[in-house]
């Protein structure tokens, strides 16, 4: 431990701590811009400078380690001048069009300018090179708004190991760009949106589906249904001032109903269905000598990643569609038949924590209902934005229940939103289907947690099934390399593209930090614990769906509607 003094306040911190961490213990908040708790600190923006007694130059607090006896000042005339100059230089390359920006009100640069009180900017405005790019249909870029914090570059390279963007040029003339200045749709971008989540301004954003949803809601000829992903209920309350991890399932349903949706359904229903299909697919591979290990296929960012970087491993993927796409296919077939509605008049909207879901819905394979299965995808942020525009305060509403029949789900469905949840849900069902015995310990703790890669074993009627869980694509890459080298001694692997799983997807409320991630995870586990049914195969509506419509898991009809194939994609072109 080291003893340091911050603005006259003595604190003890680990001797490898930074000045920024020491200041937090002293209840002093040092302003930052390029810093993010998930990423290596690089001191690029120079906003967090402080004075250290005995040192002639200002130090960046985010990446300067403390030493025993260090005396630190976080505010002084020199510090104020340095921060104001740094901020003016940043603003001189940033367009002053806040009212037109999607981040208006949540922009970190906007908040920083308000805190540091920059008056007239001393430097002339000079636009950064590059044009807006929304070619991917999921993640958009506006290089003119970039503040060169490099967070996007770091998360893409360090956390996701994709490298779709990088710093080009040097110094004042540097900018962020794709390889060879190509569109995002032409490089190895997986559309996970982690760059959007880390970007402090509006330089990165989701491609909006809000207007197409408004148009559908205002058309009296269209029957508009909405599905809500598991992770949304643990995060959307943050958009209305509620603490992170507040579970608002019923209030969210009420708010969506007030927006004008004809039916409010739950993606957890098709999460349960995914477990039935994927679980039986795994059983078939184990019994019949199929390709192992089998990889989960629920995360579209992960699907894009394996298509780009490990196309030779595509046979390992489960052929199951994601719960979002299973829902869309059923909404325009099974639900349309039961409700007596022309499927051409059904408009399916998803509320998802994920930006990659927008691109997934547009894939040419996703039309097995005879129509585009999912018509529009709203991120959690976009859904909240629509509620606010309509004057709906979710936090003040009384809870309401999902509509039937596609609104009934189990605890296994809700934990899909957290890393390890798909694995846990699958093992709950596979164990009971294979052994015919009741699983006494429903909570499968070895697959829970936030470690990048986790392993577990479960006994299935004499067969030990070895499973692994990875979240964040850099961790997925480690497991894929083990498969390639023949070192992966697993039967089943769950991959989630985003750190922590869907609960920290690229479309979730700002910010997502390790602490917020943990609170959202706790909320989903609590939702699972409180539900009367916690195993997917116990869902009575799923059982009815098979009796009335699908026949049995992995049947011919189930394969027609609920399964798909994947395609190798070049990294460039």
The residue from 34, 206, 502, 535 that is catalytic is 502
Please provide the CATH number assigned to the domain covering 2-75. 3.10.20.740
Distance of CA 152 to the CA centre of its chain: 15
Compute how many other C-beta atoms are within 10 angstroms of the C-beta atom of residue 565: 8
Contact 447, 419 (CB under 8 A): no
Q: Are the beta carbons of 119 and 136 closer than 8 angstroms?
A: no
- Please tell me the predicted confidence (pLDDT) of residue 400: 98
**Measuring CA to CA, how many Å separate 143 from each of 146, 399, 456?**
5, 42, 44
What is the distance between the alpha carbons of residues 133 and 177, in angstroms, rounded to a whole number?
11
Known catalytic residue at 107: no
In the residue annotation, 62 being an active-site residue is answered as no
Question: Pick the catalytic residue: 206, 238, 278, 494?
Answer: 278
Each domain of the chain, given as residue ranges in start order, spans: 2-75, 98-206, 210-562
SS3 355: coil
Helix (H) or strand (E) holding 182: none
Active site (annotated) includes residue 156: no
Contacts of 189 (CB under 8 A, 6+ apart): 136, 139, 162, 164, 165, 178, 304
What pLDDT sits at residue 573? 55
pLDDT value of residue 571: 86
pLDDT at 183: 95
Give CA separation, 176 vs 33, 204, 467, in Å: 16, 11, 39
Tell me the chain's radius of gyration from C-alpha atoms. 25
Which of 307, 360, 382, 424 is the catalytic position? 360
Please identify which of the residues 281, 382, 424, 494 carries the catalytic annotation. 281
Q: Which of 28, 263, 321, 357 is catalytic?
A: 357
Residue 111 corresponds to which tokens in the numbers above? Answer: 């908040």
232 burial level (CB within 10 Å; 0-12, 13-18, 19+): buried
CATH code of the domain made up of 210-562:
3.40.50.1780
Catalytic residue from among 53, 55, 365, 544: 365
How is domain 98-206 classified at the CATH fold level? Alpha-Beta Plaits (3.30.70)
Q: Could you say which of 144, 318, 350, 369 is catalytic? A: 318
Based on the residue annotation, tell me whether 365 is a catalytic residue of this protein: yes
Tell me how far apart the alpha carbons of residues 65 and 50 are, in angstroms, rounded to a whole number: 12
Active site residue 455: no
Q: What pLDDT does 461 receive? A: 74
In this prediction, residue 31 carries a pLDDT of 97
- pLDDT by residue, tens only, the chain of 573 residues: 999 999 999 999 998 999 999 999 999 999 999 999 999 999 999 999 999 999 999 999 999 999 999 999 999 999 999 999 999 999 999 999 999 999 999 999 999 999 998 878 989 999 988 899 999 999 999 999 999 999 999 999 999 999 999 999 888 889 999 999 999 999 999 999 999 999 999 999 999 999 999 999 999 999 999 999 999 999 999 999 999 999 999 999 999 999 999 999 999 999 999 999 999 999 999 999 999 999 999 999 999 999 999 999 999 999 999 999 999 999 999 999 999 999 999 999 999 999 999 999 999 999 999 999 999 999 999 999 999 999 999 999 999 999 999 999 999 999 999 999 999 999 999 999 998 999 888 999 999 999 999 998 888 777 788 999 999 999 999 999 999 999 989 999 999 999 999 999 999 999 999 999 999 999 999 999 999 999 999 999 999 999 999 999 999 999 999 999 999 998 875
**538 alpha carbon, distance to own chain's centre:** 28
Catalytic residue among 107, 149, 195, 298: 298
State yes or no: is 502 an active-site residue: yes
Whether 366 and 373 have beta carbons less than 8 Å apart is answered as yes
**Cβ atoms 193, 355 nearer than 8 A:** yes
């Amino acid at each position: 431990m080291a003893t340091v003094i911050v603005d006259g306040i003595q604190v003890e911190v680990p001797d490898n701590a930074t000045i920024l961490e020491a200041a937090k213990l002293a209840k002093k908040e040092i302003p930052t811009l390029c810093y993010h708790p998930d990423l290596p600190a690089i001191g690029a923006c120079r906003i967090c400078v402080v004075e250290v007694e005995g040192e002639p130059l200002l130090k960046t607090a985010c990446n300067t380690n403390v030493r025993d006896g260090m005396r630190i000042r976080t505010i002084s005339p020199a510090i104020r001048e340095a921060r104001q100059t740094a901020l003016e230089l940043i603003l001189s390359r940033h367009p002053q069009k806040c009212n037109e920006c999607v981040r208006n009100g949540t922009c970190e640069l906007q908040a920083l300018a308000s805190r540091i009180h920059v008056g007239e900017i001393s430097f002339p405005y000079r636009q950064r090179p590059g044009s807006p790019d929304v070619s991917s249909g999921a993640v958009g870029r506006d290089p003119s708004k970039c503040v060169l914090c490099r967070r996007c570059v770091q998360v893409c390279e360090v956390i996701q190991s994709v490298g779709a963007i990088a710093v080009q040029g040097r110094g004042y003339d540097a900018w962020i760009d794709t390889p060879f200045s190509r569109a995002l749709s032409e490089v190895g971008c997986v559309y996970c949106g982690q760059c959007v989540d880390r970007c402090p301004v509006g330089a990165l954003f989701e491609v909006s589906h809000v207007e197409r949803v408004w148009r559908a809601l205002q058309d009296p000829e269209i029957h508009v249904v909405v599905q809500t992903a598991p992770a949304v209920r643990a995060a959307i309350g943050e958009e209305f001032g509620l603490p992170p991890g507040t579970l608002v399932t019923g209030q969210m349903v009420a708010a969506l109903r007030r927006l004008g949706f004809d039916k409010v359904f739950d993606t957890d229903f098709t999460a349960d269905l995914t477990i039935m299909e994927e679980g039986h697919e795994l059983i078939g591979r184990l019994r019949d000598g199929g390709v192992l290990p089998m990889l989960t296929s629920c995360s579209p960012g992960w699907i894009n990643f394996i298509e780009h970087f490990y196309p030779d491993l595509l046979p390992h993927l489960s052929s199951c569609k994601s719960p979002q796409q299973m829902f869309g296919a059923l909404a325009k077939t099974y639900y349309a038949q039961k409700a007596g509605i022309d499927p051409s008049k059904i408009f399916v909207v998803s509320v998802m924590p994920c930006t990659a879901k927008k691109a997934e819905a547009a894939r040419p394979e996703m039309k097995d209902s005879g129509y585009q299965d999912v018509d529009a995808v709203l991120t959690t942020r976009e859904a909240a934005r629509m509620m606010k525009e309509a004057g709906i305060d979710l936090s003040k509403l009384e809870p309401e229940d999902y509509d039937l029949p596609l609104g009934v789900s189990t605890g296994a469905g809700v934990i899909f939103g957290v890393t390890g949840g798909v694995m846990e849900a699958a093992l709950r069902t596979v164990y009971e289907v294979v052994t015919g015995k009741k699983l006494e310990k429903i909570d499968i703790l070895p697959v829970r947690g936030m470690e990048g890669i986790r392993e577990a074993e479960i006994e299935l009627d004499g067969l030990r099934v070895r499973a692994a869980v990875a979240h964040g694509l850099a961790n997925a890459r480690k497991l894929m390399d083990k498969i390639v080298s023949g070192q992966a001694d697993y039967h089943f692997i769950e991959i989630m593209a985003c750190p922590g799983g869907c609960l920290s997807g690229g479309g979730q409320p700002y910010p997502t930090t390790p602490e917020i991630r943990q609170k959202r995870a706790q909320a989903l586990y609590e939702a699972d614990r409180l539900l009367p049914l916690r195993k997917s195969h116990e869902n009575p509506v799923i059982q009815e769906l098979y009796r009335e419509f699908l026949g049995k898991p992995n049947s011919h009809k189930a394969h027609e509607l609920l399964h798909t194939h994947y395609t190798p994609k070049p990294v460039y072109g």
